[in-house]
Structure 1
Amino acid sequence: MIKILLVEDDLSLSNSVYDFLENFADVVQVFDGAEGLYEAEMNIYDIILLDLMLPEKNGFEVLTELRGKGIKTPVLIMTAKESLDDKMHGFDVGADDYLTKPFYLDELKARIQALLKRSGKLEDTALLKYGELVANTSNNHVTVDGQPVEILGKEFDLLVYFLQNRNVILPKEQIFDRIWGFDSDTTVTVVEVYMSKLRKKLKNTEFAENLATLRNVGYILR
């Protein structure tokens, strides 16, 4: 499931957006720019939805600092500021898209999907395939050679994360932040536990054979 950071101070709008996004994404919601910046730095998100008129730090400031720190997460600005100068400034400081209020929720979803496809975080369908393995992100169903395999919860999230990041070195700390979250009560060693579970459930598959451990670094699915 995709992970979205929603940084929005307009409670009447943010609540309806949050409820809508929860139908297809894991959503973390914050209400001021400083907290939004902290969340974006400390956790890994697939996309950030950013209002401009925020307390503590405005959206332009948040985005400028994010890009200055090398954080490349796609950012969709959604704001009542509709002037051409505001739009141009938003793109100048690193926005990937700009949506003015009021907007239709279906349009918001379409723009999110377009950005995720562009960044490689969303397949054209819900099916992620690797050899004989197929993971369906619409119903969290996994099959191997057409036979169902019970992979649920964090195990499924972990599987999808590797399938979406093939040939990319994933450090243990990054996996932990992405799957469990920076504020989790557990420790990074839980990654090794779940990796072992996943390998056992998928033994003798191409996935297990090509999932390599990089000592003192992390893992890579080749």
Structure 2
Amino acid sequence: MIKLLVIEDEKILAENIKEIIADLGEVTLCFDGEEGLYEAQSKIYDLILLDLMLPKMSGYQVLAQLRQENIQTPVLILTAKDSLEDKITGFQKGADDYLTKPFYREELRLRVKALLRRSLGMHEENTLQYGNVICDLSKKEVREHETVLPIQGKEFELLVYLIQNQGMILTKEQIFDRIWGFDSETTITVVEVYMSHLRKHLKQTDMAENIQTLRNVGYLLASRKD
């Protein structure tokens, strides 16, 4: 599932933002800069919505620290600071987009969707593709050419996560946190089980041989540009 982090100290506004984008992914709220930075450092998010005027640590400081640590999660700044100088500073520090308050509900949704498409490699029709394997994110369906593959549920999420992070080593811990969550009642060995199932279902595709197991580390899907 797509994970979104909202760092906003006004709790009513934060809850409103969560309600606006709740159907786009799992939304986590943080109410000060230090808490938000820790959350962004400790977990993998697909997009961060960041206020600038935060207690304990400003949004600029949070953003600068993330980029300094090479955490490249896309960041959408949401702020009442609307001067050109503020916008330039935001982009210079590594923001991907900048939206001033008050904002229109639909504009926020459109900007979030655009950033997610860009960062996750989605096509306009909400699909991901790796060679002949196509994941329809709306239908939660996997196809090779016109054949629908029996990949569903957590196995589908695992496949999507691999494609989104092709060329990157993913540890078992990262995969477990992303797909099941560390508060899950299952254990981390479930990663190996689902990876085995996924490989079997992809056996006849051109993708299967590109999923590598890195002993005592995790997995790597070889990068491919189609």
TM-score range, shorter chain: 0.7 to 0.9
The offset of 1:206, in angstroms, is 2.5
Structure-2 change in CA distance of 1:31 and 1:192 (3 Å)? same
Which amino acid in the other structure matches residue 165 of structure 1? N
Measure the CA separation in 1 of the matches of 2:133 and 2:70. 34
What's the counterpart of residue 77 of structure 1?
A: 77
Question: Aligned runs of 1:46-57 on 2, under 5 Å?
Answer: 46-57=46-57
Structure 2: state its 5+ residue gaps: none
What's the counterpart of residue 27 of structure 1?
A: 27
What's the counterpart of residue 167 of structure 1?
A: 167
Structure 1 residue 4 corresponds to structure 2 residue 4? yes
What's the counterpart of residue 134 of structure 2?
A: 134
Kept in 2: contact 1:113–1:122 (CA 8 A): no
What's the counterpart of residue 219 of structure 2?
A: 219
Same amino acid, percent of matched pairs: 56
1:116 match: secondary structure: helix
TM-score, normalising length: structure 2: 0.85
Measure the CA separation in 1 of the matches of 2:220 and 2:165. 8
Kept in 2: contact 1:81–1:100 (CA 8 A): yes
Measure the CA separation in 2 of the matches of 1:188 and 1:72. 26
Question: Aligned runs of 1:135-150 on 2, under 5 Å?
Answer: 135-150=135-150
Question: Aligned runs of 1:65-214 on 2, under 5 Å?
Answer: 65-181=65-181, 184=184, 186-214=186-214
1:60 match: secondary structure: helix
Which amino acid in the other structure matches residue 22 of structure 1? A
What's the counterpart of residue 41 of structure 2?
A: 41
Kept in 2: contact 1:199–1:208 (CA 8 A): yes
The offset of 1:67, in angstroms, is 1.6
Structure-2 change in CA distance of 1:56 and 1:153 (3 Å)? farther
Measure the CA separation in 2 of the matches of 1:91 and 1:181. 32
The offset of 1:130, in angstroms, is 3.4
The offset of 1:111, in angstroms, is 1.9
Kept in 2: contact 1:51–1:79 (CA 8 A): yes
Measure the CA separation in 2 of the matches of 1:183 and 1:66. 25
Structure 1: state its 5+ residue gaps: none
Measure the CA separation in 1 of the matches of 2:130 and 2:88. 41
Which amino acid in the other structure matches residue 174 of structure 2? Q
Measure the CA separation in 1 of the matches of 2:173 and 2:165. 15
How many residues of Structure 1 are paired with residues of Structure 2 in the alignment? 222
The offset of 1:148, in angstroms, is 3.5
RMSD (Å), alpha carbons: 2.3
Cα deviation 1:11-45 (Å, max 9, x = unaligned): 33222221221112222222221111111001111
**Which deviates the most, 46-55 or 109-118?**
109-118
The offset of 1:191, in angstroms, is 1.9
Kept in 2: contact 1:172–1:219 (CA 8 A): yes
